[in-house]
Amino acid sequence: MIIEKVETFVLKDKLSKSFFFSQWEYSERSICVVKITASDGTYGWGEGYGPAKILEEGVNFLKPIVIGSDPLKNELVWHQMYRKTLDYARRGILVSSMSAIDIAIWDLKGKILGVAVSALLGGAHRDKVKPYATGLYFRNYEEPSVEFGEEIERYVKQGFKAIKMKVGLGVDEDYENVKKVRSMIGDEIELMIDSNHAYSLKEAVSLARKLEPLNISWFEEPLSPEFYDQYRELREKTTIPIAAGECEYLRYGFHQLLRSKSVDILQPDICSSGGLTEAKRISTLASVYGIDVIPHTWGTSIGMHVALHFISNLELIPGRMKQPDFLMEYDQTENALREKLTFPKVIMKDGFIKVPKGPGLGLDVNEDVLREYDISKMKDKSII
Ligand SMILES: [Mg+2]
């Protein structure tokens, strides 16, 4: 059996209301989804994290390698894609294109063999994961520190036991916001903060020290992803665990983060850092350093399924009889592609999501929804 077809779909969802983080405004969600079909008609789905149209071009660039290859030999395909891109893109969007293809091949391979991706990865150590809510973005530029009450109430009602909020407006404003959120959610719910690399080292140290009494589970991307040594310095100066990795690529990039002792928690985005093939290697590398892996997950429900299978396979180091819950990022911002694109629906119950058991990623795409959000069928083909 060989791979016969690689198709791309650039999807766009215009938001009913914009939201902001420390860097810019989001007024739409867009993503490149990939479908790979084998000669017997079996197909698999993948997606890449990053600018969708550029990502699509990357997939087109890699297509000649993929077509004609054996879908059961995904590592061979991965290596050929890596060789083809190494000279031009050791980091960045071409790796995201590779990731989308790699994920679709894992789904396809699982469907051909009739086994779940978690089994292909080596087996599920756990059958459910604990999602944390990613939300509490800024509502506008002029007055970003709005009341968070309604949103927090919704998360608590849904059963979330952990919430991640955005920071990055300035040390004093962040401090006031985090203090407010902590007092609203109480001490039982875990709280994480994410600045999306908004700060200098001096600012990040100052904010971290002010926030230490508020029991923050991690401070995500406090600094520029370029400053590996500053991350280490920050880690030495605060008791709050430091997390990063969503701007990092391939095992070589993650090795740099690990070797320089930059983080307590590694956050590869499986849909951009090299796909499931490379994420498995990155988690092995992290285990050598005794560092936890909690992937960055911010796409459609395809990406969520990828994370569920991957997290189910993560090894607890050194391991014990009674295992802790493993966290998964669950974006709560408006995104029809996360809610409607695939079936069966992802269900959170009693604060947990079950790892799908069906073949491959355990999902299929609703092709009516795919067509509805496909920009090639829209009048306005622009994308932000
Ligand atoms: Mg983040």
Structure tokens at 169: 């407006």
Report DSSP state, residue 168. Answer: -
pLDDT digit string, tens, across residues 232-271: 999 999 999 999 999 999 999 999 999 999 999 999 999 9
| Residues paired with 266 in a beta bridge | 244, 293
CA of 267 to the centre of ligand 1 (A): 8
Among 34, 80, 86, CA closest to 57: 34
- The predicted model scores a pTM of 0.97
> What's the 119 CA to ligand 1 centre distance in angstroms?
28
CATH 3.20.20.120 maps onto the chain at: 118-363
Do the Cβ atoms of 17 and 334 come closer than 8 Å?
yes
| Ranges of CATH 3.30.390.10 domains, the chain | 3-115+366-377
Structure tokens at 302: 């395809």
State what percent of residues in the chain have pLDDT above 90: 95
Pick the CATH number of 3-115+366-377 from 3.30.160.270, 3.40.630.190, 3.30.390.10, 3.40.50.10710: 3.30.390.10
Contacts of 270 (CB under 8 A, 6+ apart): 99, 103, 276, 279, 295, 297, 303, 306, 307, 310
Give the helix ranges, DSSP H, for 220-340: 228-237, 250-259, 275-289, 301-313, 336-340
Q: Ligand 1 centre and the CA of 134: distance in Å?
A: 9
Alpha-carbon dihedral angle through residues 191, 195, 196, 202, given to the nearest 10 degrees: -130
Give residue 244 CA to ligand 1 midpoint distance, Å.
8
Return phi, psi of residue 224, to 5°.
-60, 140
The pLDDT confidence band at residue 146, using thresholds 50, 70 and 90, is low
Active site residues: 296
Q: What is the pLDDT of residues 275-328, one digit of tens each?
A: 999 999 999 999 999 999 999 999 999 999 999 999 999 999 999 999 999 999
CA–centroid distance, 137 to ligand 1, in Å, is 11
C-alpha angle 212-216-219 in degrees, rounded to nearest 5: 95
Whether 141 has a pLDDT exceeding 80, the answer reads no
- Confidence band of 89 (pLDDT split at 50, 70, 90): confident
Of 46, 39, 47, give the one whose Cα is nearest residue 2.
39
Cα of 363 vs centre of ligand 1, distance in Å, is: 26
Which CATH homologous superfamily contains domain 118-363? Answer: Enolase-like C-terminal domain (3.20.20.120)
